[in-house]
Amino acid sequence: MTKAIFFDIFGTLVDWRTSLIKNISKSAVLDKDDSFIELLVINWRLEYQPILNKVNDKKIPWMILDDLHLISLKNVLKKMHIYHLTENQKKELVFLWHKLEPWKDTVKGLNDLGRRYITCSLSNGNINLQKNLFRYAHLNFNFIFSAENFKKYKPDTSVYLGAANNLGLDPTVCFLLASHKNDLVAADKAGFKTIFIRRDSEYGNYSEKFKEQSFDANLSIGSLEDLDEVVI
């Protein structure tokens, strides 16, 4: 019997791409049109998993995601020949990851599931980032888990096992709900059951740049509302 559902956050529950485009445009830090800003955002996200892998492989020291976002942003700005931003302006852009809009089904769906199961975040986002984001997006969880707790980033299996162990639960009574199959594959290896949620617009017109391995989750849904009548 399922006891807890763990949720990935970026892309799964919040729309990082559209939110960042809108907020960077509003900030006036970059005097560029939305298509240019979208390309910057996509390139920034493409830096995400490679730099996490470097931390997991001990090629660079442990750092929280805010710090890694700053490093990867600087790499992208250099590649895109953007040199005029101050250090404070770069940090301002990094902080925009703390203010992302939820998908339209997220808030109600999460609250409904919270009445039936223990709900937990399980994100690579550092704890302060998550707290700020959840306050901004009105996301309610029973527990917040971060890679910061375990000093490893997903998809390292120690993150999933550590979160389940923290609650005193066997992984087999836990689900991971995520929109990224690489995340689900790792959770499955850790003994979790899995729910894949489709977020078809996550990457906009750049989905071909984000390759994922094939995986059949225990359950596939198009909205959190699809779980209203399902016993998992």
Q: Please give the tally of structural domains in the chain.
A: 2
Instruction: Kindly state the percentage of the chain with pLDDT values over 90.
Output: 93
Q: Edge-to-edge strands of the sheet including 193-197? A: 143-146, 118-123, 4-7, 174-178, 193-197, 219-221
pTM here?
0.96
Q: Which of 98, 132, 163 is the last residue of a domain?
A: 98
Verify that 135 and 218 share a domain, yes or no.
yes
List, for residues 134-186, the tens digit of each pLDDT value: 999 999 999 999 999 999 999 999 999 999 999 999 999 999 999 999 999 99
In a domain, 193, yes or no: yes
SS3 state at 187: helix
In a domain, 109, yes or no: yes
Verify that 76 and 115 share a domain, yes or no.
no
Verify that 52 and 133 share a domain, yes or no.
no
SS3 state at 221: strand
In a domain, 162, yes or no: yes
Verify that 73 and 11 share a domain, yes or no.
no
Which residues are within 8 A (CB) of 128 and not within 5 positions of it... i.e. 6 or more apart?
66
Verify that 8 and 33 share a domain, yes or no.
no
- Separation between Cα atoms, residue 87 and residue 21, nearest integer Å: 20
CA-nearest of 14, 41, 34, 178 to 101 is 14
* pLDDT at 31 (0 to 100): 81
Verify that 22 and 91 share a domain, yes or no.
yes
Domain range for residue 168? 4-15+103-227
Q: How many CB atoms lie within 10 A of CB 71?
A: 14
The CATH number assigned to the domain holding 208 equals 3.40.50.1000
Q: Which of 38, 73, 98 is the last residue of a domain?
A: 98
In a domain, 108, yes or no: yes
Q: Which of 79, 98, 117 is the last residue of a domain?
A: 98
The two beta strands, 174-178 and 143-146, are unpaired
Verify that 130 and 208 share a domain, yes or no.
yes
In a domain, 139, yes or no: yes
Which tokens is 176 given? 């991971």
In a domain, 84, yes or no: yes
* pLDDT at 100 (0 to 100): 98
pLDDT tens for the chain, 232 residues long, are 899 999 999 999 999 999 999 999 998 788 889 899 999 999 999 999 999 999 999 999 999 999 999 999 999 999 999 999 999 999 999 999 999 999 999 999 999 999 999 999 999 999 999 999 999 999 999 999 999 999 999 999 999 999 999 999 999 999 999 999 999 999 999 999 999 999 999 999 999 999 888 999 999 999 999 998 777 8
Which tokens is 35 given? 């298509």
In a domain, 232, yes or no: no
* pLDDT at 59 (0 to 100): 98
Verify that 112 and 184 share a domain, yes or no.
yes
Which tokens is 80 given? 């895109």
Verify that 47 and 85 share a domain, yes or no.
yes
The secondary structure of residue 40, as a DSSP letter, is H
The CATH number assigned to the domain holding 64 equals 1.10.150.240
